[in-house]
Each structure stands twice: as structure tokens, then as C-alpha cells.
Amino acid sequence: MPRVSIKICTTLHTILQHESFDNFQIVHLRDAFIAASANDQNVIESYKFIYRQVVRLVKKGLLKKINKENEKTVIYQKTEQFYQVIFVTNERNGGTKPSSKFQDITDHDPIHLLKERLKESEIDLLTSIGESEEYMQLYKSFPEMKEHLEFMYMLARENSSKLLGQIKAIKSVLAHQQK
């Protein structure tokens, strides 16, 4: 039987090929996609794009959708077919990385650097919130692990608070710089 080839966004392909990226939620894939993307990414548009791609891969049998019992959580898992398909990569929407000349100019612009840092902190915050929510879900599923899960939950919440403080600080500096 000949191997099938499927077109996929280069960034998405790179993330999905990583062996640790299995049993994931769409928001986790979206966060990794935004973090790895060269262009500015809108969180909502990125989610829609990732969702469409995941649904397409599920229909082709490359990913398996798993609904957790008594939870609203949906997990996606790579199937054996995923490892047998030939992926043809392309840039999303024809997007390319910024030219090096543009990159050199923006690398020295404090407003641009602050906006980049703000974007990274916001992504980290979303990841941290997702992590703390997952610890709560795990606690409900595995109450015998209460002590460890509570500790990990508190660490994630503390990290979220620190990130929120960083975001507030960066936003206030940006507001001052843009006056």
C-alpha cells in the first residue's frame, strides 16, 4: 500500500513531530504554535487554525480524539498512521519570517522588544493557568495523589501570579513609552 502524503503547516508539523507532544489538548498545541511562530499571532485566530488542522488530522485517522469520562476535557493522541504518513510542509497562509533587515531594525526598538516580551509573558501565563487547571482535574481523578497535586497546583498558581505581575509591569512601561 503506497504511503499517503498530507500537507501541513511547517510550524505545526515541527511541534507534532516532537515525541513528547502526544496526549495533548488543542489549547496546548495552540500555545506551542504561537510560541514557535515567527509572525505575530492572534490567539483566537491561532486557536481556530489549530482546531481546523486537528479536526482534519482526526478525520484522516492520524490523531485520535479521546473524551475523558465525567470531564469536559478532550485529549488528542497520535495514531500509528501518524508515523506512517509523509507530511508535505508549507508555511501557514503563505507567511514567511521577517527579512533580516526588518529584524535588525526591530531588534533595537524598545517598544518592539517590550511588545515581544509582553506576548511571551501572556503565552506563559496562559500555559501556567492551563497547568493549574490540569492539576485540579488530576486531583479530581486521582484523590490519592492529593499532597503532590496540591503542591504542584500551588507552584503553578504562584507562577501565574508572578507572570501577571510581569505583564502589568510591561504594560505600564509600554503605556509610558507610547505617550
Can you tell me the distance from the alpha carbon of 86 to that of 130, in angstroms, rounded to the nearest whole number? Answer: 32
Q: Which residues pair with 66 in a beta bridge?
A: 75
Q: Where are the domains of the chain?
A: 1-97, 99-179
- pLDDT at site 43: 85
Q: pLDDT tens, 41-81?
A: 788 888 899 999 999 999 999 999 988 776 778 899 999 99
Q: Report residue 6's pLDDT band, with 50, 70 and 90 as the boundaries.
A: confident
Q: Is 138 exposed, middle or buried (0-12, 13-18, 19+ CB in 10 A)?
A: middle
In angstroms, the Cα distances linking 152 to 29, 134, 137, 164 are 22, 10, 12, 18
Q: CB 174: neighbour CB atoms within 10 A?
A: 15
pTM: 0.50
Q: Considering only the top CATH level, what class is 1-97?
A: mainly alpha
pLDDT range class, residue 101, cuts 50, 70, 90: very low
What is the per-residue pLDDT across 116-152, written as a single tens digit (0 to 9) for each?
A: 888 888 888 888 888 888 989 998 999 999 899 999 8
